[in-house]
Amino acid sequence: MRTFLDAKAMAKAMREALATKNIQILHSEALEIVARQFGLETWNILSARIERGEGTTPAEKAPSGIVFEQAVPIVRIFDVAKAHEFYLGFLGFSVDWEHRYGDNFPLYTQVSRAGLRLHLSEHSGDASPGGNMVVYMSGAAAFQRELAAKDYRYMKPGLEKEDGRLEVEVIDPFGNRIRFMEIVGED
């Protein structure tokens, strides 16, 4: 867990490093910068967290030290061109990387958009077609408008509001269902 001494030492080291480049900042300014490096607005917020023993990283906040990162679903595909048309063209994802064991081998690729990563695989043992996943998000209404504006010939997803959530459901060309869901509260 971070302590005041760690954070203050970081601020001191930064001031000293900047001083070697003839850049002078106050110690209080260095403390504010350190707080922002931890993703917090001010030094007061960081120092309060340290004082309460909350830590500053997910691992430090978890009492056991166990922290799970984002799950990355594997989605079974059968046709790369159709998968690209749907995931890249329609949903607006980008290809992060692609892998094949050699020429004329099945594709395994990662696509992503706005923090969401999916693995698309032509390998028969990686996933079953017709899977179903829920993706929690913000901006579901804007996302649905974006999809509707693309006029994709195989899908015209609507926006459903039910039980305090907005949902946009899509089904890829391989029968895999993705429900994009935003929690908005009760009516």
Average of per-residue pLDDT across 72-78? 95
Structure tokens at 28: 């209080």
The answer to whether domain 74-183 has CATH 3.40.50.10860 is no
Ranges 6-20, 41-55, 90-104, 150-164: which has the least confidence: 41-55
| pLDDT tens, position by position, 128-176 | 989 999 999 999 999 999 999 998 999 999 999 988 999 999 999 999 9
Share of the chain above pLDDT 90, in %: 55
Residue 144: count of CB within 10 angstroms of its CB:
20
What φ, ψ does residue 120 adopt, rounded to 5°?
-105, 130
Looking at 14-28, 40-54, 81-95, 138-152, which range is the least confident one? 40-54
Round the average pLDDT of the chain to a whole number and report it.
86
Residue 9 in 3-state DSSP? helix
> What's the confidence (pLDDT) of residue 37?
78
Task: Quote the pLDDT of residue 145.
Answer: 96
Kindly report the number of other CB atoms within 10 A of residue 37's CB atom: 14
Any alpha helices (H) in 62-183, and if so which ranges?
80-83, 140-150
Q: Is the pLDDT of residue 58 over 60?
A: no
| Half-sphere exposure of residue 81: CA atoms within 13 angstroms, side-chain side | 0
Phi, psi of 97 (to 5 degrees): -165, 160
- Identify the band that residue 43 occupies on the pLDDT scale cut at 50, 70 and 90: confident
Domains in the chain: boundaries: 4-61, 74-183
Residue 30's pLDDT is what?
83
CA angle at residue 69 from 139 to 130, to 5 degrees?
A: 65
| pLDDT: which is higher, 53 or 122 | 122
| Model confidence pLDDT, tens digit, residues 81-100 | 999 999 999 999 999 999 99
Which pLDDT score is estimated for 1? 43
